[in-house]
């Protein structure tokens, strides 16, 4: 049958069995009808036979015409499809290039050629056009579409290694749209004059008005220059809205408005500084405003005179911070914090106080002071303390405290703290705000927001969330100074501060001020005077802080390695022996006392895996910012960091690179 159909060119019937069987059945029925008709009546049989053969002929003829029509349609579609493929290859917005086994281009379509202007591409290696294309064609792992850049233009690239074909699609237009979208997104900022009340409280109305006008004019000129919308909300607070592209321009300028306000108002004997919080990254204006306020709080918590720029998902960027925070001369805040702490203590069953790792005299002395405040309010307080790896002076103090049974039993280990802490316990952190620096970081998670923080360091990004009370005063010399002020406002009817507790807090102030030579204000001396009046022994402080001979020799060995960097910075790089952090800090302090040195950095190994840096400054160089870039923090003039590194020389090179920048 197939041969018969093929012979007579009836391919439609041959290729469609269902259609063929339909014809056979119709033809069979017609023949049977004609035969039956002949048996009934000859005339009828002849007529039926004639009609049957005519119908069969007509059917076959129509099938023939149908097949011919379908062939024509198929041929037309095939031609159009082939022509369309050719047109698509030539005119479609997709660049196509074929390459050989050596990565050389053999053929390109006009669109691919247009990406490279008039450059002759035949026999050019793809890797010479683009390193990305060379890598993609030399590997069989690139099965996905990859975004690449060629001649500063963006493309989506796909490689079919089997066909040895490269497909490029230009996305520069879409990149420009996305870039323009990001450039025109809204950012919100809040500006606060840090010390407006302190500077203007004794001014005449005329002088205050002139100062207000000067600051407002400076900020207005600055905002006009960078196309910001600026609105003054009160005497010491401003609000602005900007596009991201304009904010980027201000960042590139380093927020020089901070220097302008500080320097120009200083010339008028009315030194003012600004703190700025800026947020971006979301289209929700309410979230932007909240984040801007949070960033402003962070700037103020770091001592003011700086800008904090942060979105909800990115790390904060800091600018400024070139001046030491000015001392607030009012005790109102100390009294309010003291009263607030009393309320928190009353509503807590158990109280725990905890300092930072490797407790120093300020951390341990402040812990003793907090314990006494809790006792004054009728609450027992436990000091979470790690006996191992502590400073020499703290070790001496710990031995002294063993003679006081009440204090001695209140000093507990990390394990004991974890066992005793419950849902209604209060945790007080002193001398640090970073969870990673705590003696027992897990206890902070366990506290679940029932946390009070007392610290004198500038606040960093890492900060406990949802605290009950935070007392951060970067202007203070030490945490012991802050705790001493709070002690003065506590009820003293039922308890009295012991001499050893007062001495420990005085020692903490002495250590952090380098015997009252650095970072001291009037309130520092007031706190020291109060401690002396209740029994603190200066002689005992000196005994606790004495250096031993071995430490003295090690310190001098560190200083011997000093080298000058940029004429004003002294850098000491120790060998890979392990040094106590106190010795390293003392070496940095000693260097700062030498002539022509404005900042000192001492790099030494703290443990087998960690290298530490102690940084000191007289104030003209912000060592806090430098240490933050290396993962640490501290004050403008006193900062440190610890880095996991192979050796001290690598850390020193990293430090020099940051100082160069």
In CATH, what is the architecture of 184-320?
A: 2-Layer Sandwich (3.30)
Instruction: Please enumerate in sequence order all residues whose Cβ is within 8 A of that of 436, keeping only pairs 6 or more positions apart, or say none.
Output: 462
At 144-202, the pLDDT tens digits run: 788 888 888 888 888 888 888 888 888 888 888 888 888 899 999 999 998 888 888 88
At 228-273, the pLDDT tens digits run: 999 999 989 999 999 999 999 998 888 889 989 988 988 888 888 8
Determine the pLDDT at residue 329.
Answer: 44
Integer Cα distance of 648 and 594 in angstroms: 24
Helix 172-183 crosses helix 244-252 at what angle (to 10 degrees)? 80
Integer Cα distance of 310 and 296 in angstroms: 10
Structure tokens at 65: 């015409």
At 582-627, the pLDDT tens digits run: 788 889 988 888 888 999 999 998 877 889 899 998 877 888 888 8
Same fold, 92-175 and 340-544: no
For 200-239, what is the HEC assignment? HCCCCHHHHHHHHHHHHHHHHHHHHHCCCEEEEEECCEEE
At 408-457, the pLDDT tens digits run: 999 999 999 999 999 889 999 999 888 888 999 999 988 888 899 999 88
Q: What is the mean pLDDT of residues 295-321?
A: 82
Half-sphere CA count of 437, side-chain side, radius 13 A: 24
Determine the pLDDT at residue 242.
Answer: 94
Contact indicator for 438, 444 with CB cutoff of 8 Å: yes
Helix 42-91 crosses helix 17-40 at what angle (to 10 degrees)? 170
Helix and strand numbers (H, E) in the chain are 27, 23
Instruction: Please enumerate in sequence order all residues whose Cβ is within 8 A of that of 336, keeping only pairs 6 or more positions apart, or say none.
Output: none
Instruction: Please enumerate in sequence order all residues whose Cβ is within 8 A of that of 171, keeping only pairs 6 or more positions apart, or say none.
Output: 147, 154, 155, 156
Tell me, which fold does domain 340-544 have in CATH? inorganic pyrophosphatase (n-terminal core) (3.90.1640)
Centroid of chain to Cα 644: 20
Taking the alpha carbons of 26, 27, 33, 36 in that order, is the dihedral positive or negative? negative
Integer Cα distance of 276 and 446 in angstroms: 34
Residue with more model confidence, 559 or 518: 559
Determine the pLDDT at residue 370.
Answer: 94
At 402-419, the pLDDT tens digits run: 988 899 999 999 999 999
Statement: residue 30 has pLDDT above 80: no
Taking the alpha carbons of 359, 364, 365, 370 in that order, is the dihedral positive or negative? positive
Beta strands in 24-176 (DSSP E): 94-99, 105-108, 146-150, 153-160, 165-170
List the domain boundaries for the chain.
2-89, 92-175, 184-320, 340-544, 549-660
Q: For the structural domain made of 92-175, what CATH number should be given? A: 3.30.450.20
Q: Which of the four pLDDT bands, split at 50, 70 and 90, describes residue 391?
A: confident
Integer Cα distance of 387 and 394 in angstroms: 10
Which of 548-552, 569-573, 593-597 has the lowest average pLDDT?
A: 548-552
Contact indicator for 121, 113 with CB cutoff of 8 Å: yes
Half-sphere CA count of 264, side-chain side, radius 13 A: 15
Structure tokens at 574: 């120790």
In CATH, what is the architecture of 549-660?
A: Roll (3.10)
Q: Which of the four pLDDT bands, split at 50, 70 and 90, describes residue 38?
A: low
At 467-489, the pLDDT tens digits run: 888 888 877 889 999 999 998 88
Contact indicator for 373, 344 with CB cutoff of 8 Å: no
Instruction: Please enumerate in sequence order all residues whose Cβ is within 8 A of that of 81, keeping only pairs 6 or more positions apart, or say none.
Output: none
Mean model confidence pLDDT for the chain: 83
Q: Which of the four pLDDT bands, split at 50, 70 and 90, describes residue 29?
A: low
Q: What is the mean pLDDT of residues 68-80?
A: 66
Integer Cα distance of 86 and 109 in angstroms: 10
DSSP 461: S
Q: What is the mean pLDDT of residues 90-99?
A: 78
- How is 102-124 classified by DSSP, letter by letter? TSBEEEE-HHHHHTTTT---TT-
Share of the chain above pLDDT 70, in %: 84
Integer Cα distance of 169 and 221 in angstroms: 45
Share of the chain above pLDDT 90, in %: 26
Statement: residue 308 has pLDDT above 70: yes
Integer Cα distance of 524 and 453 in angstroms: 20
Half-sphere CA count of 126, side-chain side, radius 13 A: 29
């Amino acid at each position: 049958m197939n041969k018969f159909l093929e012979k007579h060119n009836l391919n439609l019937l041959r290729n469609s069995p269902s259609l063929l069987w339909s014809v056979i059945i119709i033809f069979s029925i017609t023949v049977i009808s004609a035969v039956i008709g002949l048996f009934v009546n000859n005339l009828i049989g002849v007529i039926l036979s004639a009609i049957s053969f005519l119908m069969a002929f007509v059917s076959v003829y129509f099938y023939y015409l149908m097949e011919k029509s379908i062939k024509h349609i198929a041929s037309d579609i095939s031609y159009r499809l082939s022509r369309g493929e050719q047109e698509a290859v030539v005119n479609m917005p997709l660049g196509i290039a074929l390459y050989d086994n050596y990565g050389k281009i053999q053929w390109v379509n006009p669109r691919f050629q247009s990406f490279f202007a008039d450059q002759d591409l035949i026999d050019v290696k793809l890797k010479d056009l683009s390193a990305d294309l060379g890598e993609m064609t030399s590997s069989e792992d690139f099965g996905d579409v990859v975004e690449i850049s060629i001649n500063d233009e963006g493309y989506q690239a796909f490689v079919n290694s089997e066909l040895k074909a490269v497909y490029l699609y230009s996305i520069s237009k879409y990149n420009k749209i996305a870039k323009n979208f990001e450039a025109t997104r809204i950012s919100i900022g809040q500006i606060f004059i840090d010390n407006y009340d302190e500077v203007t409280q004794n001014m005449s109305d005329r002088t205050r008005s002139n100062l207000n006008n000067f600051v407002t004019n400076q900020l207005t000129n600055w905002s006009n220059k960078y196309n910001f919308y600026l609105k003054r909300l009160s005497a010491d607070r401003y609000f602005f809205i900007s596009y991201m592209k304009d904010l980027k321009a201000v960042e590139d300028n380093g927020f020089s408005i901070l220097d302008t306000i500080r320097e120009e108002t200083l010339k008028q004997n009315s030194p003012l500084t600004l703190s700025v919080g800026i947020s971006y990254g979301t289209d929700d204006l309410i979230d932007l405003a909240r984040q801007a306020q949070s960033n402003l709080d962070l700037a103020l918590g770091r001592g003011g005179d700086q800008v904090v720029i942060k979105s909800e998902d990115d790390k904060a960027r800091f600018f400024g911070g070139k001046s030491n925070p000015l001392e607030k001369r009012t005790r109102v805040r100390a009294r309010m914090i003291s009263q607030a702490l009393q309320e928190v203590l009353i509503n807590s069953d158990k109280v725990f106080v905890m300092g930072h790792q490797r407790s120093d005299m300020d951390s341990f002395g402040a812990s003793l002071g907090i314990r006494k405040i809790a006792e004054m309010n009728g609450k027992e307080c436990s000091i979470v303390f790690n006996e191992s790896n502590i400073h020499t002076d703290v070790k001496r103090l710990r031995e002294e405290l063993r003679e006081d049974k009440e204090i001695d039993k209140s000093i507990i280990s990390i394990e004991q703290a974890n066992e005793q802490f419950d849902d209604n316990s209060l945790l007080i952190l002193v001398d640090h705000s970073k969870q990673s620096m705590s003696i027992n970081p897990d206890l902070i998670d366990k506290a679940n927001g029932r946390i009070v923080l007392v610290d004198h360091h500038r606040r960093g990004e890492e900060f406990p969330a949802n605290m009950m009370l935070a007392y951060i005063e970067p202007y203070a010399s030490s945490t012991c100074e802050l705790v001493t002020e709070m002690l003065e406002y506590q009820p003293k009817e039922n308890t009295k501060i012991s001499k050893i507790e007062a001495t420990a807090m005085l020692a903490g102030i002495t250590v952090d001020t380098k015997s009252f030579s650095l970072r001291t204000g009037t309130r520092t001396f007031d706190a020291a005077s109060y401690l002396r009046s209740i029994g603190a022994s200066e002689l005992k402080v000196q005994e606790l802080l004495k250096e031993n001979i071995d430490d003295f020799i090690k310190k001098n060995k560190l200083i011997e390695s000093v080298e000058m960097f940029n004429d004003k910075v002294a850098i000491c790089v120790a060998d890979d022996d392990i040094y106590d952090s106190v010795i390293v800090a003392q070496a940095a302090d000693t260097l700062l006392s030498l002539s022509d040195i404005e900042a000192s950095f001492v790099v030494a190994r703290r443990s087998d895996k960690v290298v530490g840096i102690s940084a000191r400054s007289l104030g003209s160089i912000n060592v806090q910012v430098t240490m933050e870039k290396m993962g640490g923090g501290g004050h403008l003039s006193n900062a440190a960091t610890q880095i996991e590194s192979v050796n001290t020389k690598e850390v020193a090179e990293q430090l020099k690179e940051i100082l160069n920048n």
